[in-house]
């Protein structure tokens, strides 16, 4: 099995500008009637290239790990993950901690704001 990357350019309706979305597709080679063919096994994940920040990478890897656990055995998993990581680097522990800190701050701000709004 291997990863095939599909590239799709959007017209810009969602992000108000043209964007490029990449989809990671898990493919296997099968022998059919004397010829090798590629068979689509599963869509692993996708991302918009222009917005590949920590949150987008985190979401991509969450979906990828869920799907890889279903479709790929342990022997092939590290090779597939390496192919994915060449295009979408996994988040580091420091990035995860910073993302969590910002999420906690946002949640605290929302709680404080909603508390003030209900007391008026």
* Average pLDDT value for residue range 80-87: 94
Q: What are residue 6's phi and psi, to 5 degrees?
A: -105, 140
The answer on pLDDT for 39 being more than 80 is yes
Q: Contact at 8 Å (CB) between 57 and 30?
A: no
Q: Is 63 found in the same domain as 23? A: yes
Is 98 in the same domain as 67? no
Q: Could you tell me the pTM of the whole model?
A: 0.76
Count of structural domains within the chain: 2
Same domain as 113, residue 78? no
Is the confidence at residue 118, as pLDDT, over 60?
no
Kindly report the average pLDDT of the chain as a whole number.
87
**Domain around 105:** 93-120
My answer on whether 83 and 97 are in the same domain is no
Are residue 98 and residue 84 in the same domain, yes or no?
no
Q: Quick one: 49 and 108 in the same domain?
A: no
Query: In this structure, are 83 and 114 located in the same domain?
Result: no
């Amino acid at each position: 099995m291997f990863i095939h990357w599909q590239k799709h350019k959007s017209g810009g309706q969602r992000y108000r500008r043209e964007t490029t979305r990449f989809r990671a597709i898990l493919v296997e080679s099968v022998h059919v009637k004397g010829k090798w063919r590629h068979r689509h096994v599963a869509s692993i994940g996708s991302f918009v290239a222009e917005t590949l920040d920590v949150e987008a990478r985190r979401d991509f890897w969450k979906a990828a790990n869920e799907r890889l656990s279903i479709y790929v055995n342990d022997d092939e998993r590290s090779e597939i993950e390496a192919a994915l990581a060449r295009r979408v680097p996994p988040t580091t522990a420091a990035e995860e901690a910073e993302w969590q800190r910002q999420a906690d701050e946002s949640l605290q701000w929302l709680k404080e704001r909603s508390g003030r709004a209900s007391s008026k």
